[in-house]
Amino acid sequence: MVSHTIGFLLYDDVEEQDFIGPLEVFNTACDIAKKNSDPTLGRMMLMSVSGADITTTSGMSVSVECTLAHAPRLDVLFIPGGPGICSTIHNIELLQEIAGIASECLWIASTGTGVFLLSAAGLTGNKKLATHRSARHEFTEPGLTGECIAQTHYIRDSNLLTSIGATAGIDMCLWLTGQLYSIPLALAAQRALNHQRLPGILAFV
């Protein structure tokens, strides 16, 4: 199987459930691939805005490897949600870095309010999007573009994947595992995670 690098951009006051579940999907898939003698499945990277370790909404400290700017070439850029997203959407340098890196990615993904940062970086124009239901009405801020769809689990629009939150992010990443690698591997990861729902309630738009 082809190896992919998947980067998670974290920040202080990120919602840990928005990235831990998706991260576990990819880690589980990698573990299964290794057991099947395919050790080059992929690499997961945790990055932060400053390069410093971050603190989640629950106070958990998370170590990161580097800043987004110093990351190797990413195949997937993943941005989780959380109240700390408000401190990132006006960081012009960060937005430019996200836009530049996203232009070279196979996929760009978010959970919950992570889509706000993608929109601020100019990646959601004319796209249909998903975000946390409690934040959907806020997606009318000046400069935020795209259409947030109600009553959806996660949405694919071109190479942009957005989900409403943590559990939906797990489903989304199971589907993405099938796209990056294979459907049998995604199903094996689903079984390993004891995740009972099908790996995809997907709105193709």
Average pLDDT over residues 58-63: 96
Average pLDDT over residues 131-152: 82
pLDDT at position 204 is: 39
Say what percent of the chain tops pLDDT 90. Answer: 74
pTM of the model: 0.90
Q: How many whole angstroms separate alpha carbon 77 and alpha carbon 73?
A: 10
Q: Looking at the structure, give the CATH architecture of the domain made up of residues 4-204.
A: 3-Layer(aba) Sandwich (3.40)
The burial class, CB within 10 Å (0-12 / 13-18 / 19+), for 57 is: middle
pLDDT at position 42 is: 78
Whether residue 166 is predicted with pLDDT greater than 60 in this model: the reply is yes
pLDDT at position 142 is: 66
Q: Please report, for residues 5, 19, 74, 84, 122, the alpha-carbon distance to residue 89 in angstroms, rounded to integers and kept in the order given.
A: 24, 18, 21, 10, 11
